[in-house]
Amino acid sequence: MNFSDSEIVASIITEKDYQTTDSPEGADIIFLNTCSIRDNAEQKVLNRLKHLQGLRKKNPNLILGVLGCMAERMKTSLLEESQTGLRLDMVVGPDAYRDLPQLLLDVETGQKAVNVILSAEETYADITPVRYASNGISAFISIMRGCENFCSYCVVPYTRGKERSRNPQSIISEAHDLLKAGYKEVTLLGQNVNSYHWEKGEEGWRFPGLLEAIANIDPNLRVRFATSHPKDMSDELLHTIANHPNICKAIHLPAQSGSSSVLKRMNRKYTRETYLNRINAIRRIIPGCAISTDIIAGFCGETTEEHLQTISLMKEVAFDFAFMFKYSERPGTPAEKKYEDDVPEKIKSDRLQEIINLQNQNSLKSNQSDVGQIFEVLVEGFSKKSKQAVSGRNSQNKMVVFPNEGFKPGDYVKVKVEDCSSATLLGKAISQ
């Protein structure tokens, strides 16, 4: 999400004769695009900002700005040097990027600049992102912004505002342009993509229709999407995925917990049973589909029994992949107001470790079951370890490494898997 926002920022700025550079040392303006989702994400940004202060010695005119969720959450308090120990020039929230050129002019005349106004409409639909750090093969397309699910632990509804969907025609034309520019894969992005909805007069769009329209652009353009919310994972969407070979067979469906009582406190709006019902629907409608998830360990009031429910859910579903986190209390969220962050740090860490260990076993088992199978892999580039090998992803979003027989990025190659680790499949191209 932030990566996609940075591409929008780059587009707005470079329209006004500013240029991008790879090195902070050579820059006159540095923007940090920030995340507030967990406390450690914010601590990382504050450390980085401390480090960047040093560059002011060499370049007294350096403009340093904080963009995104942390700007939105902390607002002008970020500009109070006596509190933060930081000298910052700009604080700009996620819906105010169009104002950046004007804010930069304000800073150039010696003022501090702030815009943290959230919008109910802004989708940056007309802005063509500058793909400045792309591999030229895969690109993100932001299809909606904000979130109104108000999961009790989550800061996103407060930092990114109301949920709004982007005009479908602008999404479809962005995908067309990417295909023309040589891209082979697009990922449709939103906090809750399967609640995408856009209406104008008689015209109405929902996520399955949008996904289908993008898939129909070209069979050689792969389509992915993230993130899906279990409460909105309809059979219709699953059938759309099943019916289109170029819609990738990988679904990220964050469970957060395997305990219905924890899910209730989290305000996730589903139970363990309804979550499992959706998993069964995926398995039934899209055989061979990879399923990944997000898990939070040690949410407020989590008992040993509730934690064990998460372990049992993970065993039952056997996720192919997971992002796993310790609960981090976020100021201003319903959980902060209503519940006590009462699971001791040591227990949170132990539970997270148990979850990670189990997932590592599940990921390894999932990869082992792929040995002997043939997958179509979209080559992204050389393998990290050797130029004699290339790497890319299969439809299930698993990284596959295989010997380079003159392949180039963007090639689709049939690969037979011969070996694996818990993170990677190793194979060999087979003659087409």
Residues that bind ligand SAH (CB under 6 A): 37-38, 153-154, 191-192, 227, 229, 254, 256, 294, 296, 325, 327-328, 330
Q: Does 154 bind ligand SF4 (CB under 6 A)?
A: yes
Q: Nearest distance from residue 332's CB to ligand SAH, in Å?
A: 11
Partner in contact with 164, chosen from ligand SF4, ligand SAH, none, beta carbon below 5 to 8 Å by kind:
none
Partner in contact with 157, chosen from ligand SF4, ligand SAH, none, beta carbon below 5 to 8 Å by kind:
ligand SF4
Q: By rule CB under 6 A, what count of residues binds ligand SF4?
A: 10
Three-state SS annotation for the chain: CHHHHHHHHHHHHHCCCCCCCCCHHHCCEEEEEECCCCHHHHHHHHHHHHHHHCHHHHCCCCEEEEEEHHHHHHHHHHHCHHHHCCCCCEEECCCCHHHHHHHHHHHHCCCCEEECCCCCCCCCCCCCCCCCCCCCCEEEEECEECCCCCCCCCCHHHHCCCCEECCHHHHHHHHHHHHHCCCCEEEEECCCHHHCEEEECCEEEEHHHHHHHHHCCCCCCEEEEECCCHHHCCHHHHHHHHHCCCECCEEECCCECCCHHHHHHCCCCCCHHHHHHHHHHHHHHCCCCEEEEEEEECCCCCCHHHHHHHHHHHHHHCCCEEEEEECCCCCCCHHHHHCCCCCCHHHHHHHHHHHHHHHHHHHHHHHHCCCCCEEEEEEEEECCCCCCEEEEECCCCCEEEEECCCCCCCCEEEEEEEEECCCEEEEEECCC
Partner in contact with 296, chosen from ligand SF4, ligand SAH, none, beta carbon below 5 to 8 Å by kind:
ligand SAH
State which residue, 72 or 89, has the beta carbon closest to ligand SAH: 72
Partner in contact with 330, chosen from ligand SF4, ligand SAH, none, beta carbon below 5 to 8 Å by kind:
ligand SAH
State which residue, 34 or 383, has the beta carbon closest to ligand SF4: 34
State which residue, 49 or 154, has the beta carbon closest to ligand SF4: 154
Partner in contact with 407, chosen from ligand SAH, ligand SF4, none, beta carbon below 5 to 8 Å by kind:
none
Q: Does 147 bind ligand SF4 (CB under 6 A)?
A: yes
Question: 27-46: which residues touch ligand SF4 (CB under 6 A)?
Answer: none
Partner in contact with 150, chosen from ligand SAH, ligand SF4, none, beta carbon below 5 to 8 Å by kind:
ligand SF4
Q: Does 150 bind ligand SF4 (CB under 6 A)?
A: yes
State which residue, 229 or 326, has the beta carbon closest to ligand SF4: 229
| Interacting residue ranges for ligand SF4, rule: CB under 6 A | 147, 149-151, 154, 156-157, 191-192, 229
